[in-house]
Every structure is written in C-alpha cells, then in structure tokens.
Amino acid sequence: MSADVPGDAARPSRAGRNLPAALAVGLLLGAGIVAALLTYRHLFIGIVAAAAALSTLELAGALRRGAGVRLALFPVLLGGQAIIWLSWPYGLPAVLVAFAITTLGCLVWRVRLGVEGYLRDVTASVFTTAYVSVFAAFGAMLVAPPDGGFRALCFMIGVVASDTGGYASGSLFGRHPMAPRVSPNKSWEGFAGSLVSGVVGGVLSVGLLLGGPWWTGALFGLAVVCSSTIGDLMESLIKRDLDLKDMGTLLPGHGGLMDRMDSLLPSAVVAWSTLSWLLPG
C-alpha cells in the first residue's frame, strides 16, 4: 500500500480499522511465514496454496455480492491448487498447462447453469484463476532453488518494507493523491516513503541473504515497490467496481485476506522474475 493522505479524505478508509488487532494479526502471520522459510522452506508452498484457496473463495463471494457473478468455483479451486503445487517441481511449463486445463474446465463447468451470464461468469473465473493462483505460483517457485527460502524472505521483506514505509510517510506527509478517482488515500509522498524503505530493504535483504551486490538489491526493491503499489491500486479498482469496502472479514483489523494479498500477488511475479534475471539460482 502506498500511503494515506491525512485529513478528512483519510478517515473513511481507516475509521473502521482496529490497529492493535491489525498489528497482532500481521505479526502472527509474518512470524509463521518466517519460521517456515527458516526451517523447512517447502512449507511455504503449503502456505501459498492455502492463502490462494481462501483468497479465491473470498473473491468469489465478493464478485457474487457486488456483481452477481457466479464463478465456476470447483474448477477454479481445483485448478488453482494444481497450478501452485505443480509449479514447484516443474516450473513455468506446468503453470501454463495447468492454467489452460483450468480454463477449459471453467468453460465446461459453467455450461450446466445455462446461457444467461455465461461469458461474464467464465471470464471472471479465468480472471480469478490468473489473478490469484497463477500469480501465487510465482511465490511458490521462489523456494525452488537451494537458496529459495532466502529468496522468498527477500520477497516478503520487500513488500512489508514498501507497505510500512508508504503508510508511515503518507500518514505524516501525504498531501498529493496519486490516483484520486481510484484510491484518494494513496499519496505521492507515501509512494516516496515506499521507495526509500523498499530500496533499503532490497539492498539489505538481497545483500545479506543472497550475497548480491547493492545495485541488485536496489533494482529488486524498486521493482517490488512498483508492483506493490500497482497491486494495491488494482484491488482498489476492483472494490470500487463492486461497490465494496473490503473483500471480506477474515482478518481482524485488516478486512479480508485479499485486502492483504493485493500487493503480494503481483509482487510475487515481479520478485521471481527479477531475482531469476539478476541472481540465477
């Protein structure tokens, strides 16, 4: 998340948040992920798969409430799990094949509900599969190399640093909205804070955990900051289109799980791609 513009415009988005609960939930989730990465890194794949399944269910509910969309939920869930679990041993070719088969499954499964809304529902089903499961598969692929636990940890540090720096800087200094019609509370000052903290986090994490040169960490941090910010704005667009404040209520103080996955999902693609290019495993 980039940050908030203080003042009256910021109140509607933050008024309902329970900050102590949000911090407690965030710390608990973060501690569990770090423990998995530092002990048996392949546990991270299970965490990614579980998060993707819950996010899919949450997004399906939001689409139904906000737009009357009926996802082909069974193939989306089953195919999504196949996409993630096959990505680890077999890589991108398996992701592509599983995604294609899932798309075919959505086309066939939705036939049973008749003609009305067929194209709308199938399109939303394929979108959900790509947005959640395919993007999440890149997070799972981060742990494939021998140093994969550290690669995934760099990814998490980059996103958290971007979000934290953006929130702090925007809360203190935010005056100029980035996209007032999409997310009035995201400011350019907050984005500047995200850049500083994200690049610093990238330099430190890539340098200390992966042994990469400083410029590699800086490029990695810059890429993750941009993807995190874009991901947050994309989810804001989806929620505005559906006329929803939050995707769900699963996480106290945060809203729904998708409200926390917004910056992680696109950043998983960017983190895997950037590290694969800069620091081949």
Beta-carbon contacts of residue 118 (< 8 Å; ≥ 6 apart): 110, 111
Return the amino acid letter for 45: I
Per the CB < 8 A criterion, the answer to whether 179 and 172 are in contact is no
With beta carbons less than 8 A apart as the criterion, state whether 107 and 242 touch.
Answer: no
Q: Residue 121 corresponds to which amino acid?
A: D
Residue 178 is encoded by which pair of tokens? 């980035």
Contact between residue 112 and residue 86 where contact means Cβ atoms under 8 Å apart: no
Express each pLDDT in 78-110 by its tens digit: 999 999 999 999 999 999 999 999 999 999 999
**pLDDT at residue 34, rounded to an integer:** 87
Q: Which of 8-17, 38-47, 187-196 shows the lowest per-residue confidence on average (mean pLDDT)?
A: 8-17
Quick check: pTM over 0.75? yes
* Residues, the chain: 281
Q: 3-state DSSP call for residue 116?
A: coil
Decide if pLDDT at 220 tops 60.
Answer: yes
**Percentage of residues in the chain having pLDDT higher than 70:** 88
Vertex 259, ends 98 and 257: CA angle to 5°?
65
C-alpha–C-alpha distance, residues 156 and 210, integer Å: 14
pLDDT value for 26: 66
Angle, CA 26 vertex, CA 95 and CA 274 arms, to 5°: 40
Confidence of residue 134 (pLDDT cuts 50, 70, 90): very high
Question: What does the angle CA 257 – CA 186 – CA 267 come to, to the nearest 5 degrees?
Answer: 50
